[in-house]
Amino acid sequence: MIVERFAVTTRAEVDLHPRYNVRPGEDVAALIEHEGDRRLGPLRWGFPPRGQVNVRSESVALASAFRDAFRRRRCVVVADGFFEWRSVDSLTQPHYFRLASRQPFGLAGIWQRLPGGASPPGTAILTCAANSLVAGVHDRMPVMLTPDDCRHWLDPRADPSALASLLRSFASEAMEGYPVSALVNSGRNDSPDCVRPIGGTLRLVPPQALG
């Protein structure tokens, strides 16, 4: 499904088995485009050298640590959901968000390799202000991309200033979210129980944006 949905032309050795709780420092499946070749392969989640897992989309084009990667090394991390945590008194309640269509989607990212290649290339996911659905849990969310958005984001010829329109919150009406078990708070847990609802969905509507 991923190969067809994202028009992959080359696939490197990458683990596409179902994952339910990916931790920083682990490999993620990501897309990179070079000379018309859209490659699916692994990137380490954590942008070198400091290992940032998230970067604010509002500052990525200006910050000295990220602007070169934004201009020259954009990538798409393939996902079918993400977690955000809501703080309630002294507790944090994890929530899981995905497309109502249950289809995979892209997360806008940047990547970098340290000189000498002593460690694998790493990636950070861009974040933006939360949409109306996610805002009930957290004020930020990852930048989600449709397959067509991915094409523009990965295009090495794209004018970076023209990419700003992609760095926005995704349509809330095309998503659903619900609280999940605190199992996800430990990276040792990686099973379907991590994404099993423990309450009603925050919103469930017919899929619209991605079909």
Q: What is the b/e burial string over 114-130, where b = at least 16 CB atoms within 10 angstroms of the residue's CB?
A: eeeeeeebbbbbbbbeb
Per the listing, tokens 């609802």 go with 197
* 54 falls within a domain: yes
Distance separating alpha carbons of residues 109 and 69, to the nearest angstrom: 9
The answer to the question of residue 91 being in a domain is: no
Note whether 85 and 181 are within 8 A (CB): no
pLDDT band (50, 70, 90) for residue 211: very low
Does the pLDDT at position 209 exceed 60? no
CA neighbor of 43 nearest in space, from 60, 56, 31, 52: 31
Decide if 89 is inside a domain: no
192: in domain: no
Average pLDDT in the 48-53 region?
94
Q: Residue 77: beta bridge partners?
A: 30, 107
Number of structural domains the chain divides into: 1
Q: Interior CA angle at 61 toward 81 and 77, to 5°? A: 25
Q: Is residue 121 part of a domain?
A: yes
Please tell me the least confidently modeled range out of 96-100, 104-108, 203-207: 203-207
Residue where the block lists tokens 């990220």? 66
Q: Does residue 2 have a pLDDT over 90?
A: no
Give me the domain span that covers residue 48: 2-80+102-170
Q: Residue 89's pLDDT band (boundaries 50, 70, 90)?
A: confident
User: In this predicted model, which residue has the larger pLDDT, 34 or 76?
Assistant: 76
State phi, psi for 94 to the nearest 5 degrees.
-75, 145
Residue 55 pLDDT greater than 90, yes or no: yes
Q: pLDDT at residue 120 above 90?
A: no
Tell whether the model's pLDDT for residue 206 goes beyond 70.
no
End-to-end Cα spacing for the chain: 14
Mean pLDDT on 104-125: 89
**Which H or E run contains 2?**
helix 2-5
Query: Is residue 196, in this structure, part of any structural domain at all?
Result: no
Q: CATH no. for residue 152?
A: 3.90.1680.10
Mean pLDDT, all residues of the chain: 91
